[in-house]
Amino acid sequence: MLPINKVIINNETGFNPIWIMRQAGRYLPEFREIRSKNTDFIKLCLNEDLSAEITLQPLKRFNLDAAIIFSDILMLPYGLGQEVKFEKNFGPKLGNLNLSEIAKIDEIDFVEKIHRVYKAIKKVSSDPSLKNKNTIGFVGAPWTLLVYMINQQSPKKNLKENFFKDEFLINRVLLVIEKFLKLHIKNQIDNGANIIQIFDSWAGLLNEKDLPNYIYTPTLNLVDYVKSLNVPVICFPREIKNYKEFCEIVKPDAVNIDYNVNPKEIVQNIKIPVQGGLDPKILLTDKETLKKETIKYLEIFKDHPYIFNLGHGVLPETKPEMVEWLVNTVKDFK
């Protein structure tokens, strides 16, 4: 069986690899045990031994085809010196964005601050259990990181009223983000990541007229950079209205779809490999419903290169046995 990255590069069909967004983490009791003793989330991400252990936990339980490093897209603003903390039942809170301060950060300072992420990737990618499996590194897309850095918290449905007011700030921050994302990507690849996924969690917040400036151009720059390093890149522009246009302009090696899009339209309109789509809430139902919904996606993409995944991250209340049922359903599908 070919690893996922070979399937993407060779555009091959014949089997459906599977991994799950947020597969390493909160729904697993073994993760919750570690987390209960490590309450500072950023420190946990920067503990290479624990981060590697958490990354590998789901692969010890389930027949998954890839490990995705246990980390966070907000390691980038953290590496740039912006305060980042995670509050229970609230999510991330970021400190004030000081452009003159982040402009002073050089590449050595940035790497020094988050180099343990790369050490964790090295540990994971060299683990014997990952033979013929992939190690996925990831970053947030420039737009999504811009949202967090200026909004200073998750926007949910709304950006701050004056978000677009300071055009100079936005353009300068985007340049800084792009520069350090490239460095972050290269260091992940240099330490064993053989796929990069770009998460644009807040792509759906933008009007169509703003997509070229904030989504297409900055993401294309990153995609071209990853390709120049001979590693395939998957993009997840969550809740974007036009996946076809995104793929034609940005040209990722594969695209992750969210659960609000019609997979039948995707398979007709998109030529590149597709990943994901299943609503994570289906894992909270029963085995019969889960099997039915899983097979629906597998049937739709039967003749199209497809990586089975969800349309968003696995939910914390998901039972591990439902994940096992999902993985087995995918593996047994002919």
Alpha helices in the chain (DSSP H): 4-10, 29-37, 41-45, 48-61, 75-79, 99-102, 107-125, 142-151, 167-190, 211, 217-228, 243-250, 263-269, 287-300, 320-332
The rounded distance, in Å, linking the Cα atoms of 92 and 112 is 22
Q: State phi, psi for 48 to the nearest 5 degrees.
A: -60, -30
Instruction: Give pLDDT, residue 89.
Output: 78
pLDDT tens digits in sequence order for the chain, 334 residues long: 567 776 676 666 567 899 999 999 999 999 999 999 999 999 999 999 999 999 999 999 999 999 999 999 999 999 999 999 998 878 899 999 999 999 999 999 999 999 999 999 999 999 999 988 999 999 999 999 999 999 999 987 668 778 888 899 999 999 999 999 999 999 999 999 999 999 999 999 999 999 999 999 999 999 999 999 999 999 999 999 999 999 999 999 999 999 999 999 999 999 999 999 999 999 999 999 999 999 999 999 999 999 999 999 999 999 999 999 999 999 999 8
Pairwise CA distance, residues 141 & 145, whole Å? 6
Q: Given this model, what pLDDT does residue 297 score? A: 98
Q: What integer pLDDT is reported at residue 172 of this predicted model? A: 95
Say if CB 69 and CB 117 are below 8 A apart.
yes
- List Cα–Cα distances, 77 to 74, 95, 99, 199, in angstroms: 6, 10, 12, 15
Give the predicted TM-score (pTM) of the model.
0.96
Element of type H or E holding 231: none
- First vs last C-alpha separation in the chain: 14
What is the predicted pLDDT for the residue at 156?
Answer: 79
| Domains in the chain, CATH or no CATH each | 4-41+55-73+117-143+179-332 (3.20.20.210)
Q: Which amino acid is at 23?
A: Q
Beta carbons of 151 and 173 less than 8 angstroms apart:
no
Helix axes 107-125, 167-190, angle to 10 degrees: 40
Residue 310: DSSP 8-state: B
Secondary structure letter of residue 87 according to DSSP: E
